[in-house]
């Protein structure tokens, strides 16, 4: 009887350990995903779409939640190895794409944006005369403290930073839903779904998912899970917790933006809108609550991205650049770029994201069905045709016009919704698959 009791006690202990590990990693992943863009874009989209905010939420959720979750699942099957994920197109392509993504979600755009958003939304409203350079220095010094030791990054985020972030967000959202500042009105946005889908690129979470998973899997391994299937299971469960948290918060923030659609116009900046909504909901306390929410949202993402950049570039250079040296360099560079300001960083991000995001989407989709894709040339065909079209879209985003080519691309199905690459990628994939099948049969004869 005692043996039976001990057995059940042991099983129960293992279950509670696994549950606790999944919860901590899931909360950490949520916090790593939920950064500067995730906080300022949903209210702005809600403002633009008004009474159709729920349609916008669906589009935003696909790129801001669905793709990152699928990306985590796909990457867990690839053991968190980016080269396995993108290497099916080619080794050189994999390395270049990895570097571009890491720079985009690292020191060039995403990390600096966290520092800039913290100053503009978290510090300046409370301390109008605060020196931005001093504020940036303090923010990135704290970032360096948390990121310098990679083995403890996930636990520090999941156990220390995330609960504070969730508490502050909950106060703002719940109060805004119970006592709305206005009624959502009908706006002139004709296609809220596709507009929000494209805006979801700015979260950069689908890009982040392809490199975040490595540090998540390392955390899973450090907790004693050595079986590959168990690692995948825990990573997927953690991703599901993060996705649920993102859906709840995005929905709440977008609704708050929709309630402000009759009070502000689309000319207001994203940071100013979020500040104004919070002040109307909570009064002067709103500045403090928002400041804490912004600070912790941006810090958790910044720490996660900095640690990920350190892991990525140290592995890429076979440790010629050590993890700590990369983390220090990324932190310093990001601190400098963050002083450009949020709006300027967002504008810089658009051409790069329009170019890279469709490629990553195609790679994620193909990796889902990898076991059924016998001809790996189909990867290259679909990805390169997508890359060509998205480069043209990226050039258009910076004002470089290729009039005849762009007029032709505008006639593609779904081009008006930003998915002009979809049908060409599908056709390229099918042609490559069929051509290879024909060639194999010819050789057999």
d(CA 232, CA 275): 40
Q: What is the pLDDT, as a whole number, of residue 41?
A: 87
Both tokens of 403, joined, read 């009039």
Question: Are 218 and 150 within 8 A, CB to CB?
Answer: yes
Question: Average pLDDT per run of 10 along the chain, which is 445 residues long?
Answer: 48 71 81 74 92 92 87 83 87 89 86 89 86 92 83 61 76 90 88 85 80 74 78 84 90 94 85 88 82 80 85 87 92 92 80 87 90 85 92 81 75 76 90 68 43
264 contact partners, CB below 8 Å, separation of at least 6: 47, 273, 276
Q: Which tokens is 348 given?
A: 């810089």
Find out whether 199 and 250 touch, Cβ atoms under 8 Å.
no
Where do the domains of the chain lie?
Answer: 2-340, 355-445
Residues 6+ away with beta carbon under 8 Å from 227: none
Nearest partner of 102 among 210, 216, 235, judged by Cα: 210
Please state, in angstroms and as integers, the Cα–Cα distance from residue 99 to each residue in 119, 252, 350, following that order. Answer: 28, 34, 18
For residue 297, the model assigns a pLDDT of 77
Alpha carbons 301 and 333: distance in angstroms, whole number: 16
Q: For residue 381, what pLDDT is reported? A: 93
Q: HEC string of the chain? A: CHHHHHHHHHHHHHHHHHHHHHHHHHHHHHHHHCCHHHHHHHHHHHHHHHHHHHHHHHHHHHHHHHHHHHHHHHHHHCCCCHHHHHCCCCHHHHHHHHHHHHHHHHHHCHHHHHHHHHHHHHHCCCCCCCCHHHHHHHHHHHHHHHHCCHHHHHHHHHHHHHHHHHHHHHHHHHHHHHCCCCCCCCCCCCCHHHHHHHHHHHHCHHHHHHHHHHHHHHHHHHCCCCCHHHHHHHHHHHHHHHHHHHHHHHHHHHHHHHHCCCCCCCCCCHHHHHHHHHHHHHCHHHHHHHHHHHHHHHHHHHHHHHHHHHHHHHHHCCCCCCHHHHHHHHHHHHHHHHHHCHHHHHHHHHHHHHHHHHHHHHHHHHHHCHHHCCCCHHHHHHHHHHHHHHHHHHHHHCCCCCHHHHHHHCCCCCHHHCCCCHHHHHHHHHHHHHHHHHHHHHHHC
Q: 2-340 maps to which CATH number?
A: 1.10.4160.10
How many whole angstroms separate alpha carbon 258 and alpha carbon 49?
Answer: 7
Torsion of CA 384, 387, 392, 397, to 10 degrees: 180
Two tokens, residue 214: 């490595």
Cα 175 to Cα 19: distance, rounded to the nearest angstrom: 31
Beta-carbon contacts of residue 242 (< 8 Å; ≥ 6 apart): 26, 27, 29, 30, 33, 68, 69, 72
Which residue matches tokens 């099918």? 430
Residue 437 has what pLDDT? 53
Burial of 172 (0-12, 13-18, 19+ CB in 10 A): buried
């Amino acid at each position: 009887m005692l043996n039976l009791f001990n057995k059940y006690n042991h099983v129960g202990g293992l279950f509670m350990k696994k549950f606790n590990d999944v919860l901590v990693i899931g909360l950490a992943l949520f916090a790593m995903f939920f950064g500067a863009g995730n906080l300022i874009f949903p209210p702005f989209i809600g403002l633009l779409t008004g009474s159709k905010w729920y349609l916008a939420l669906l589009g935003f959720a696909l790129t801001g939640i669905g793709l990152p979750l699928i990306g985590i699942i796909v990457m867990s099957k690839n053991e968190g190895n980016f080269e396995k994920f993108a290497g099916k197109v080619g080794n050189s392509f994999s390395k270049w794409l990895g570097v571009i993504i890491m720079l985009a979600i690292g020191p060039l755009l995403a990390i600096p944006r966290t520092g800039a958003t913290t100053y503009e939304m978290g510090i300046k409203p409370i301390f109008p005369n605060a020196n931005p350079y001093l504020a940036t220095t303090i923010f990135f010094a704290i970032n360096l403290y948390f990121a310098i030791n990679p083995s403890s990054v996930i636990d520090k985020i999941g156990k220390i930073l995330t609960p504070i972030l969730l508490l502050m967000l909950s106060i703002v959202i719940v109060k805004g839903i119970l006592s709305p500042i206005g009624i959502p009105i009908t706006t002139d946005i004709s296609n809220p779904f596709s507009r929000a889908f494209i805006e979801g690129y700015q979260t950069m979470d689908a890009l982040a998912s392809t490199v975040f998973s490595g540090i998540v899997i390392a955390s899973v391994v450090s907790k004693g899970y050595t079986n590959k299937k168990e690692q995948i299971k825990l990573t997927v469960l953690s991703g599901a917790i993060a996705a649920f948290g993102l859906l709840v918060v995005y929905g709440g923030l977008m609704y708050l933006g929709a309630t402000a659609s009759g009070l502000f116009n689309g000319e207001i900046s994203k940071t100013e809108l979020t500040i104004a909504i919070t002040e109307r909901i909570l009064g002067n306390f709103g500045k403090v609550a928002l400041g804490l929410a912004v600070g912790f949202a941006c810090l958790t993402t910044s720490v996660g991205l900095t640690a990920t950049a350190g892991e990525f570039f140290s592995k890429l250079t076979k440790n010629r650049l050590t993890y700590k040296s990369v983390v220090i360099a990324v932190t310093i560079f990001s601190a400098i770029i963050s002083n450009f300001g949020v709006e300027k960083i967002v504008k810089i991000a658009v051409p790069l994201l329009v170019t890279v995001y469709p490629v990553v989407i195609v790679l994620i989709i193909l990796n889902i069905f990898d076991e059924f894709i016998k001809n790996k040339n189909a990867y290259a065909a679909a990805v390169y045709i997508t890359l060509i079209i998205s480069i043209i879209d990226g050039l258009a985003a910076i004002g470089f016009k290729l009039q005849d080519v762009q007029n032709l691309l505008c006639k593609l199905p779904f081009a008006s919704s930003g998915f002009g690459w979809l049908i060409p990628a599908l056709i390229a994939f099918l042609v490559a698959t069929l051509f290879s099948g024909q060639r194999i049969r010819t050789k057999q004869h």
